[in-house]
Amino acid sequence: MTLLDVRDLTVSYRSGGREVPAVRGVDLSLAPGDTLGLAGESGSGKSTMALALLRLLPATARISGQVLFQGEDLLTAKWSKLRAVRWAGASVVFQGAMSALNPVRTIGDQLTEPILLHEKVDERTARQRAARLLEDVGLPARRLSSYPHEFSGGQRQRIMIAMALACRPDLVIADEPTTALDVMVQAQILQLLTDLVRERGIAVVMISHDLSVLAQTCDRLAVMYAGRMVELGASTEVFADPKHPYTSALARAFPTIGDAASRRAPAGLPGDPPTPSSVGEGCAFAPRCAHAVDACRSTATELWPAGPGRLSACIRVLPDLAPAGTADRTGTTGSAPATSGSGAAAMEGGAS
């Protein structure tokens, strides 16, 4: 059974008298209990896409396509249906807990509010569940009466996870859940989120720029660039053997454990991502790609089969279009590092 089925999702904004797509024709699906990592640089469209799933973008955004959640299209659903799905069906761990939490209300009030809105329970019952939620994320129940500023950054992120799980949703969207946290706290938060969702059978879409984190925590990995999905497959396979040069560049951007040179100067990616208005019909990554040929700039890209369970938007996976002499047709210059120093090491030794 499919829990979430996204078809040709496009998000556009009005600019200079025309519609400029920030997300372009994304397709993906999740079954109950699936975990999908969504990776890409800032501006790649990953957060915009995730927020579009629950229509959380500003009114200036134009969203088209289909977002089928448990068989019903949320993009055309009435407000009453959408309101019922948010929190109870699908919830979000927002980026930047201090901005997402209300600074003038106690944590207890903020945890009980969605429970009271979506379930027929009294305030006492909601308060008791809020206390259990705090304990589930490793915080004492007595902190229900505290305010957001009385917690550390890692504790606030734990509270955001507790809020996302308050109404027992089937899907959690975690938008950069470890932003601005140190490595040890990142590992603890990621382990906590992973353990909770697996215990409860919840499907997860986790957003991050760190491929090593997603490879450790998610079953599948999708990579986005310039609003399009450029690679999709099993996380460990995508990380270890990328089929798109952008995925390979993302993996090489982090230091490799045991490689002193990579710690001193991790491989960078020249240039900047294109603005949404400058993306043409060819491969948007071509101007930054060391393997680009003329066909890359003129061929309309899509996700092509790149091996069992793998999809890539690089023409090097197509025998008819791949440049002569390409042995593996992946467009990479070698495998990605098996473990990076930013997330995987902490997951191995620092999570608790």
pTM, 2 dp: 0.84
Q: Record the tokens describing residue 308, joined without a space.
A: 């069992």
Other Cβ atoms less than 10 A from the Cβ of 24: the count is 20
**What's the mean pLDDT in 142-167?**
93
Q: pLDDT tens-digit profile of 94-141?
A: 888 888 899 999 999 999 999 999 999 999 999 999 999 999 999 999
Q: Record the tokens describing residue 170, joined without a space.
A: 């089937």
Tell me the C-alpha distance between 304 and 313, whole Å: 6
Q: What is the pLDDT of residue 266?
A: 54
* Whether the predicted pLDDT of 338 surpasses 50: no
Q: pLDDT tens-digit profile of 162-202?
A: 999 999 999 999 998 887 677 788 888 888 888 888 888 99
Q: What is the pLDDT of residue 315?
A: 93
Tell me the C-alpha distance between 196 and 255, whole Å: 29
**What's the mean pLDDT in 7-18?**
91
* Whether the predicted pLDDT of 351 surpasses 80: no
Q: What is the pLDDT of residue 191?
A: 86
- Say yes or no: domain 4-225 is CATH 3.40.720.10: no
Q: Count CA atoms within 13 Å of residue 22 on its CB side.
A: 20
Q: pLDDT tens-digit profile of 216-273?
A: 889 999 999 999 999 999 999 999 999 999 999 888 876 655 556 555 555 567 888 8
Q: What is the pLDDT of residue 126?
A: 96
SS (H, E, C) the chain: CCCEEEEEEEEEEEECCEEEEEEEEEEEEECCCCEEEEECCCCCCHHHHHHHHCCCCCCCEEEEEEEEECCEECCCCCHHHHHHHECCCEEEECCCHHHHCCCCCCHHHHHHHHHHHHCCCCHHHHHHHHHHHHHHCCCCHHHHHCCHHHCCHHHHHHHHHHHHCCCCCCEEEEECCCCCCCHHHHHHHHHHHHHHHHHHCCEEEEEECCHHHHHHHCCEEEEEECCEEEEEEEHHHHHHCCCCHHHHHHHHCCCECCCHHHHHCCCCCCCCCCCHHHCCCCCCCHHHCCCCCHHHHHCCCCCEECCCCCEECCHHHCCCCCCCCCCCCCCCCCCCCCCECCCHHHHHHCCC
Q: What is the pLDDT of residue 16?
A: 78
* Whether the predicted pLDDT of 343 surpasses 50: no
Tell me the C-alpha distance between 45 and 9, whole Å: 11
Give the domain ranges of the chain. 4-225
Q: What is the pLDDT of residue 319?
A: 77
Q: What is the pLDDT of residue 329?
A: 38
Q: What is the pLDDT of residue 344?
A: 31
Q: pLDDT tens-digit profile of 293-331?
A: 999 988 989 999 999 999 999 999 987 665 554 434 343
Which phi and psi angles does 145 have, rounded to 5°?
-85, 0
**What's the mean pLDDT in 37-61?**
93
